[in-house]
Amino acid sequence: MKKAVEKTQVLVDLFGYGIVELKITYWLEFFSLPTRAYSIECHIVHFDATLHSWLYSPDFKFVFSEIEGGKGHAVCFAGERSKKNIYYQTMLNVVADYIFLKEKIFH
């Protein structure tokens, strides 16, 4: 099953930048392997690189997978590890939490 979500607004509070509004489009794909998992591909729409110099790429991916037995979930981010900074990592965490709650993944 694959689902596309048109622009959604996510607010991220970044120290030194204040609250940053990001418009994000994302795609979810469900997999049922040994455990249930969702692959999420995200794209930040119309971002200004001069204002968001901490943002290395408008595109990023992550996977939610259910911990065996349904006792929780794990999040795995994909991408170039050497290019992450605290602002980028904070943004990834906020977006992942937002999508997890909005889509009611594993509920």
Q: HEC profile for the chain? A: CEEEEEEEEEEEEECCCEEEEEEEEEEEEEEECCCEEEEEEEEEECCCCCCCCCCCCCEEEEEEEECCCCCCEEEEEECCHHHCCHHHHHHHHHHHHHHHHHHCCCC
Q: Does residue 76 surpass a pLDDT of 90?
A: no
Residue 81 pLDDT: 60
Q: What percent of the chain clears pLDDT 90, i.e. is strictly above it?
A: 38
pTM: 0.84
Residue 95 pLDDT: 94
Average pLDDT for residues 84-107, to the nearest whole number? 87
Cβ contacts of 56 within 8 Å, gap of 6 or more? 80, 83, 84, 88
Asked whether 7 and 91 are in contact (CB, 8 A), the reply is no
